Amino acid sequence: MVYVVEMEVNIPESWSQEKLADYLAREKECSQKWQSSGKWKYLWRVAGKYANISVLEVDGPDELHQIISSLPLFPYMNIKVTSVCKHLNAIRETII
C-alpha cells in the first residue's frame, strides 16, 4: 500500500540546544534507515515550515504506524496520512 504522509514538527521551546541536537541526529539516522530499506520512497521538505511530505510503500497501516512511530520526534508531530493508488489514467506504473 502507498501512503502520502504529511508531518509537521512542533519542537518544545523549552528544549536546550543539546537536547534538540540529540533528537535531530537520532531522527536523521532513523529516517535514513527507513529510506535505505526502500519502504520510505520520497521525502520532501515543505518550504517555510518545519514539515515534510513523504511517500511510503508498506504492507499496510500497521507497518506504516510502526515506521512513523519509530521516529524520535513522533510525539511532537502533527501527522496527516492519505492512502493512494494508481489512477486509471496514469501512464506510468509507479506513482512518482
Per-residue pLDDT tens for 3-33? Answer: 999 999 999 999 999 999 999 999 999 999 9
Amino acid (one-letter) located at 80? K
Which pLDDT does position 94 carry in this prediction?
65
d(CA 88, CA 96): 15
For residue 35, is pLDDT > 70? yes
Domains for the chain: give ranges and CATH numbers: 2-84 (3.30.70.1060)
- Please identify which residue in the block is written with the cell numbers 523549552: 14
> Who contacts 59 (Cβ-Cβ below 8 Å, separation ≥6)?
1
Whole-prediction pTM value? 0.89
pLDDT confidence tier of residue 91, bands split at 50, 70 and 90: confident
Q: How far apart (Å, rounded) are the C-alpha atoms in residues 79 and 88?
A: 28
Distant-in-sequence, close-in-space partners of 77: CB < 8 Å, separation ≥ 6:
7, 8, 9, 10, 71
All three cell numbers of 89, joined, read 489514467
